[in-house]
Structure 1
Amino acid sequence: MLLWIGLGLIVAAIIPYIIFFIGISVGKRPGEPPALKEYPSISIIISAYNEEAVIQKRVDNILASSYPVDRYEVIFVDDCSSDNTRALSEEAFQRAGITHRIIANTERMGTNRSYNKAMQVARFPIIVTTDADVFFEREALARLISRLVSDDRIAAVCGDLHPLPDDGSHPAQMESAYRNYYGRMCTWESAVDSTYTFNGALVAFKRDLVTRIDDKRGADDANTAFEAIRRGFRTAYEPSALVYEDIPRDFHKQYRQKIRRATRLIEATTANLDLLRHARPFSRFFYPLRIYMYLVTPALFFAGSALFIAGLALAFPILALGLICLIALVGYFWRSSTLISFATNQVYLAKGLLNLGKDMRVWESTSTKAGTG
């Protein structure tokens, strides 16, 4: 009996993932973003804390973008770094010849509040928010902006985040499997209507449509998308705007990063439930699926797995032991498998749910080389 109850709970847990799998396989897909005929002026905002080890590479990466340097400014917010981030960023921007402004917070504010502070002094109508420890592909910024301005109904767009291509570490392999599926889910959502599960590594939005990012709770990327959707506009996920992050090699550091991200995503999800009343595909279909995935699936999955293993152990103890060993082997030898990625993500979501109510607005650097510099 336990075995069948457990199996039923596991099936119930993965229902939204099955729906998404069908959608990304046969559902609507966006076309390529049209090439820009002219490059609109943009304000790039970066919020950083203790990123002295990567800031020179980050500035070089922005300069190497195909986006003309005379069509953007960079507003760099140093969130009370205890290292040399502020001075090194000033030197790097000056050497690169990039129009910039350095804002030094007098207290830790976190990403959301830092972005809102920078938006008040931004000169241009399109805002790009990005992290200090990620790296664009050369055409990523142009493709992101191209998607944003291609349709008056689109208010915000995010890029497609992946681990660095040459990173073969265990954490990077697991993250790559997760990001591959995650990106296709978001792409399908935005092709039909909108997605709020943005990647904060690279987001662009029209400032007259998204005037402020909710800085009380939730992730800056999801809150940006929610603000656009609340105003009746669309949000888009642009898979051709590739951006890469350096995954922490240390499991505990990555664990803290993933828990923080999960907590803030769940916070944003639960803070906008009034949007369920809107008459659009996002509110009637995609948003309920995401709520189920983040709030219901983890509990069903772990309860179902425990009951299934217990029932199997009672009926067939040798088979149960073999299954546990098989799962362990798959986790070790096939680190990039979707199954392992799914199970690991449930751990992060479950912990994120337990963290609700805690202040997760400030962060620590997770750059691989941070602190070695």
Structure 2
Amino acid sequence: MEILLAVCVGLVVYTYFGYGILVWLLVKIRGRRPALKTDADFAPDVTLIVPAYNELSCLPDKVANSFAQLYPVDKLHFLFVTEGSNDGSADFLRSEYGSKVALMEGTERRGKVAAMNRAMLQVKTPLAIFTDANTILNHQAVQNLVRHFRDPQVGAVAGEKRILTGDSESAAGSGEGLYWKYESFLKRLDSDLHTIVGAAGELFAVRTELYEPVETDTILDDFIISLRIAGRGFRVAYEPDAYAMERPSFSIVDEQKRKIRIAAGGFQSIVRLTYLLNIFRYGWLTFEYVSHRAMRWAVAPLCLPLIFLANGWLAARERLASSAEGYGWTVLFILQGLFYGAAWVGYRLEKKNLRWKLLFVPFYFTFMNVCALAGLVRYWKGNQSGTWEKVRRAGEVELKVRS
């Protein structure tokens, strides 16, 4: 039990802290990649693809934001995918913008991945950028993504996802924002070391010629697309100065649905990307993929209940034996109980719309791992599909983007 406890604790600590420290040290030793400079002469044609299933409320702001990109007007093309929408999105785009935007519509809802596969067949530009309809991009986003493609070894570029939260936001929103700040930090390190392992669907760019049609039941299309490109020997770069801003989930129930779906997609991805586990062939990519992604989805969530149970067994054994060591195990067990108790209180308060930020770290950490276990069950049962699952977002706010 002591060995089991030690191994599980080590795996969890490595997953959430040790990997970041190790990669930071490796980057310090090897040195960061040289900073990129914007080259005005490098401006290839780009297609901005916006999947927009029933996003009529977001479209006016999204189109305006897309048109405001600081990129040569004759080089930037727009493709809005409204397939399956029944809220008038296609009619709005057609009547308001006409030939200024390309439109891919249809009455049948086949799912986001099927729509992306069809959209890429229409793309004639060497580069394509995917972005969600409910996000706002900084004005230099396209320009900053594109500059990485001067390097022929770069096959894709991921932008940064930012969560906009206010002082009165829920614990889920605050936790989500903190999570993405830490993720951005790790992505910077991954990119400097070798390649990032997984783009965020809110904003990422690919070389059109490298895009491969994705299985239509794929949940994490952005992750699969970027990892398959990396598996072919190309780098997936990271550009923190190209970012997509969005509001957090409307409620803890909405965030829970989203997290469980992502976790199910994580297990699906692990199965479909099994070949990337061959470290003798993929080297640094395997190291980053296993440490940053696979362990977070498939190892740490399973270790946490084992740690709690093993610690409880050891505390009970030592107390029954009246051993002095029992106090150490008991204290550790009590601390675990307090941590999970704080997480439970945070969850109950959140469901009643009562917020206490002091609890959001234990709450969100526990919440994230419980959702991962629920995602494993969902994947195991086959209860997922590739169709869009819209998640309500917190109240709309005015987004002011610096030019």
- TM bin, normalised by shorter chain, reads 0.7 to 0.9
Contact 2:342 2:359 in 1 (8 A): no
**Which of structures 1 and 2 has the bigger CA Rg?**
2
Structure 2: how far apart are the matches of 1:300 and 1:50?
40
Q: Name the residue aligned to 2:158.
A: 158
Contact 1:187 1:237 in 2 (8 A): yes
Residue correspondence of structure 1 range 36-47 to structure 2 within 5 A: 36-38=39-41, 39-47=43-51
Q: Name the residue aligned to 1:125.
A: 126
Structure 2: how far apart are the matches of 1:369 and 1:160?
20
Q: Name the residue aligned to 1:23.
A: 22
Residue correspondence of structure 1 range 238-249 to structure 2 within 5 A: 238-249=239-250
Change (3 A) 1:260 1:88: farther
Contact 2:342 2:363 in 1 (8 A): no
Q: Give deviations 1:80-130, integer Å, cap 9, x for gaps.
A: 123232223334544xxx731111133222221111101111121101111
Contact 1:75 1:101 in 2 (8 A): yes
Q: Report how many aligned residue pairs link the two structures.
A: 365
Residue correspondence of structure 1 range 82-231 to structure 2 within 5 A: 82-94=86-98, 99-147=100-148, 149-164=149-164, 166=166, 168-170=168-170, 171-231=172-232
Structure 1: how far apart are the matches of 2:243 and 2:131?
13
Structure 1: how far apart are the matches of 2:72 and 2:199?
25
Q: Name the residue aligned to 2:353.
A: none
Q: Determine what percentage of the aligned residue pairs are the same residue.
A: 22
Q: Comparing 348-357 with 109-118, which one deviates more in the overlay? A: 348-357
Q: 1:350 aligns with which of 359, 362, 373?
A: 373
Residue correspondence of structure 1 range 51-62 to structure 2 within 5 A: 51-62=55-66
Contact 2:259 2:371 in 1 (8 A): yes
Q: Name the residue aligned to 1:253.
A: 254
**Offset, 1:68:** 3.2
**Offset, 1:284:** 3.9
Structure 2: how far apart are the matches of 1:309 and 1:46?
51
Q: Name the residue aligned to 2:349.
A: none
Q: Give deviations 1:202-250, integer Å, cap 9, x for gaps.
A: 0101011224334343411112112212322111222221211221222
Q: 2:388 aligns with which of 340, 347, 363?
A: 363
Structure 1: how far apart are the matches of 2:378 and 2:284?
27
Structure 2: how far apart are the matches of 1:45 and 1:223?
18
Task: Kindly provide the amino acid, as one letter, of the partner of residue 14 in structure 2.
Answer: I
Q: Give deviations 1:6-52, integer Å, cap 9, x for gaps.
A: 46523333323333221354342444332132322111111122212
Q: Does 1:63 align with 2:67?
A: yes
Task: Kindly provide the amino acid, as one letter, of the partner of residue 342 in structure 1.
Answer: F
Task: Kindly provide the amino acid, as one letter, of the partner of residue 21 in structure 1.
Answer: G
- Report the TM-score when normalising by structure 1: 0.86
Q: Comparing 212-221 with 294-303, which one deviates more in the overlay? A: 212-221
Task: Kindly provide the amino acid, as one letter, of the partner of residue 333 in structure 1.
Answer: K
Q: Name the residue aligned to 1:76.
A: 80
The CA RMSD measured in Å over matched residues stands at 2.9
Task: Kindly provide the amino acid, as one letter, of the partner of residue 13 in structure 2.
Answer: I
Task: In structure 1, list runs of 5 or more residues that go unmatched.
Answer: none
Contact 1:193 1:281 in 2 (8 A): no
**Offset, 1:258:** 1.9
Q: Name the residue aligned to 2:301.
A: 298
Structure 2: how far apart are the matches of 1:342 and 1:52?
34
Change (3 A) 1:134 1:25: same
Structure 2: how far apart are the matches of 1:271 and 1:167?
41
Structure 2: how far apart are the matches of 1:150 and 1:173?
37
Q: Does 1:237 align with 2:238?
A: yes
Q: Give deviations 1:229-286, integer Å, cap 9, x for gaps.
A: 2322111222221211221222111211222222223312221111233534334411
Residue correspondence of structure 1 range 312-331 to structure 2 within 5 A: 315=319, 324-325=337-338, 328-329=341-342, 331=346
- Report the TM-score when normalising by structure 2: 0.80
Secondary structure of 1:128's counterpart equals strand
**Offset, 1:325:** 4.3
Secondary structure of 2:301's counterpart equals helix
Contact 2:158 2:199 in 1 (8 A): yes
Change (3 A) 1:160 1:141: same
Change (3 A) 1:72 1:313: farther
Which structure features the higher share of helix residues? 2
**Offset, 1:309:** 5.2
Task: Kindly provide the amino acid, as one letter, of the partner of residue 37 in structure 1.
Answer: A
Secondary structure of 1:266's counterpart equals helix
Change (3 A) 1:168 1:234: farther
Task: Kindly provide the amino acid, as one letter, of the partner of residue 36 in structure 1.
Answer: D
Q: Comparing 360-369 with 55-64, which one deviates more in the overlay? A: 360-369
Q: Comparing 75-84 with 12-21, which one deviates more in the overlay? A: 12-21
Q: Does 1:10 align with 2:9?
A: yes
